[in-house]
């Protein structure tokens, strides 16, 4: 059964929500049969590559908060992160475009390294002093390698702005179609949706409910026939004439 998680690297609740989801998943009896796919969602899609500013300044400018409010928000988020065992720098973080990271996450998905990569990206953004947005390509290659990807291949993806760009946009379109206007957004078996960094118990309940109602494909066929007019590795059915 598949769980899709729409998120953004720049989204604190996504960082926290992933940890809560994983707590539930780790205790779920059928965890080995759950496939997790990360999908792209940019909170700030119009931000240009390389254009960066401090998180506190961005919060005051973009969302019209006072600096005290912005600081208090970051302190609160830091406390929520800490409660999940996550490091979170409440001062000195910066903000920028996450488009290239999403492109790289699609490449990592093909290589079976998506979860590894998103984890190191979150850590880099929320816990490390080095900026993820200044001289980003070099740092992203290092992080890709830390996630088990090939350095040259990652460099190539980053150097070509069209690589996996359509995949990122397709994810974002799909989020809108599914009714998500914020992240994290969890979709279980394309049947249940969980919005936000809910407590682990909510994710546990969602996993159980989705698992219980998960059904194999139901076949629809002509009454009274069993064999289909189809081609397989052993050839094509011969028409009944």
Check residue 206 for interaction with its own copies (CB under 8 A): yes
Q: Is the peptide bond before 104 cis (omega within 30 degrees of 0)?
A: no
Least Å from the CB of residue 225 to its own copies? 9
Check residue 192 for interaction with its own copies (CB under 8 A): yes
Check residue 68 for interaction with its own copies (CB under 8 A): no
Angle among Cα 60, 66, 72 to the nearest 5 degrees reads 95
Residue 187 belongs to what H/E stretch?
A: strand 185-188
Q: Which of positions 70-109 make contact with its own copies (CB under 8 A)?
A: 73, 76-77, 79-80
CB 111 within 8 A of CB 74: no
> Which region among 7-15, 93-101, 129-137, 139-147 touches its own copies (by CB under 8 A)?
7-15
Residue selected from 26, 29, 85, 216 as contacting its own copies according to rule CB under 8 A: 216
CB 49 within 8 A of CB 97: yes
Check residue 27 for interaction with its own copies (CB under 8 A): no
CB 36 within 8 A of CB 189: no
Q: Which of positions 109-168 make contact with its own copies (CB under 8 A)?
A: 110, 166
Check residue 13 for interaction with its own copies (CB under 8 A): yes
Angle among Cα 125, 202, 191 to the nearest 5 degrees reads 95
Structure tokens at 142: 């290092």
Report how far apart the first and last C-alpha atoms of the chain are (Å, whole number). 41
Q: Which residues bind its own copies (CB under 8 A)?
A: 8, 11-14, 16-17, 43, 59, 62-63, 65, 73, 76-77, 79-80, 110, 166, 170, 178-179, 181-185, 187, 190-199, 201-202, 205-206, 209, 215-222, 227-239, 241
């Amino acid at each position: 059964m598949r769980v899709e998680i729409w998120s953004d690297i720049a989204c604190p609740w996504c960082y926290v929500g992933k940890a809560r989801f994983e707590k539930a998943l780790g205790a779920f009896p059928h965890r080995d049969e759950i496939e997790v796919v990360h999908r792209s969602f940019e909170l700030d899609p119009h931000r240009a590559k390389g254009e960066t500013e401090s998180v506190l300044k961005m919060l005051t400018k973009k969302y019209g908060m006072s600096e005290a409010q912005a600081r208090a928000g970051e302190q609160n988020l830091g406390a929520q992160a800490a409660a999940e065992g996550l490091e979170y720098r409440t001062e000195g973080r910066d903000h920028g475009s996450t488009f290239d990271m999403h492109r790289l996450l699609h490449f990592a998905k093909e290589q079976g390294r998506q979860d590894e990569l998103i984890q190191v990206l979150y850590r880099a953004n929320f816990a490390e002093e080095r900026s993820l947005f200044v001289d980003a390509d070099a740092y992203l290659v290092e992080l890709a390698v830390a996630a088990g990807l090939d350095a040259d291949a990652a460099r190539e993806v980053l150097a070509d702005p069209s690589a996996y760009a359509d995949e990122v946009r397709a994810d974002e379109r799909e989020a809108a179609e599914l009714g998500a206007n914020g992240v994290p957004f969890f979709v279980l078996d394309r049947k249940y949706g969980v919005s936000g960094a809910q407590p682990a118990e909510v994710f546990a309940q969602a996993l159980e409910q989705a698992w219980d109602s998960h059904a194999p494909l139901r076949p629809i066929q002509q009454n009274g026939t069993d064999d289909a007019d189809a081609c397989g590795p052993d050839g094509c059915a011969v028409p009944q004439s």
